Amino acid sequence: MCKDLVNIPVASLKRIPTYLSVFKSLKEKGELYVSSNIIATLLNENASVVKKDLSYIISQVGKPKVGYDINSLIKDIEGFLGYHKLQDAVIVGVGQLGAALLNYNGFEQYGFRIIAGFDIDESKINATSSQKRVLPLEMIKEVVSLNKVKIGIITTPSNTAQQVANTLVKAGVRAIWNFTPSHLEVPKNVVVKNENLATSLAVLSKQLQETLKEN
């Protein structure tokens, strides 16, 4: 079977960026090779899962008794995740969180660039505080289709999220990064990634309660 046709499971995919950061810090320390066992120990994981995860993306096999070539691993992961070719995105809703994401330039290292923000609030449009353009909602269609933008980020209040999603999809967006707690209804060929802070908090505080009970 052709390797490209085997899809990596989401569970594995989620671990890949973590591996990258470990490999980079090992490289900084001057290491040239790393074994699945060391990776697993550093990340509190199982060596089998590491070996399987890496098998999805490596271009050269690991060496028995030596491990994997760190430089090669880094190159493979960056290529796999597309960190070298910048993808354009837009963000809708330039409130506190939206403005922080809009003006955060760290995304470029993840192959990802926010080219403009949109807001309904006149006072935020072209506000001097932000280095990037903030435009009125009416211009979403134009900017997205003109620049062939495929990724939209939603940081509006929850009750307008669905409407914004509809607008983005109509304009040609195919992936939505949703920071509102709303569930979004989208066509089958559009992907949604929910970044639900309420969910994270629920998990964190439940686990906190449990650990406090134990000790």
Partner DNA sequence: TAGATTGTTAATCGATTAACAATC
Contacted by 36, from a copy of itself, DNA, none: CB < 5 to 8 Å by type? DNA
What type of residue sits at position 128? T
Q: Which listed residue (6, 71, 82, 170) binds a copy of itself by CB under 8 A? A: 82
- Residue number, 73 or 149, with CB nearest to DNA: 73
- Are residues 191 and 165 in contact, defined by beta-carbon separation less than 8 angstroms? no
Least distance to a copy of itself, CB of residue 77, Å: 9
Q: Exposure pattern of 170-180 as b/e (b: 16+ CB <10 Å)?
A: ebebebbbbbb
Q: Is the dihedral of CA 69, 70, 75, 78 positive or negative?
A: positive
| Contact call for residue 35 and DNA (CB under 7 A) | yes
Q: Select from 56-64, 113-121, 164-172, 195-203 the region that touches a copy of itself (CB under 8 A).
A: 195-203
Site residues for a copy of itself, 27-56, by CB under 8 A, read 42-44
Give the DSSP letter of residue 154: E
Q: What is the distance between the alpha carbons of residues 21 and 27, in angstroms, rounded to a whole number?
A: 10
The interface mask with a copy of itself, positions 131-160, x = CB under 8 A, is -------------------xx------x--
The interface mask with a copy of itself, positions 88-127, x = CB under 8 A, is --------xx-xx--xx--x--xxx---------------
- Residue number, 89 or 125, with CB nearest to a copy of itself: 89
Q: What is the distance between the alpha carbons of residues 183 and 173, in angstroms, rounded to a whole number?
A: 17
List, edge to edge, every strand of the sheet that includes 134-136.
134-136, 112-119, 87-92, 151-154, 175-178, 191-194
| Contact call for residue 1 and DNA (CB under 7 A) | no
- Are residues 113 and 87 in contact, defined by beta-carbon separation less than 8 angstroms? yes
Size, binding site for a copy of itself by CB under 8 A: 59
Site residues for DNA, 47-106, by CB under 7 A, read 47-49, 51-52, 54-55, 58, 61-68
Name which of 180, 137, 188, 141 is nearest 162 in CA terms: 180
Binding residues (CB under 7 A) for DNA: these are: 9-12, 35-37, 45-49, 51-52, 54-55, 58, 61-68
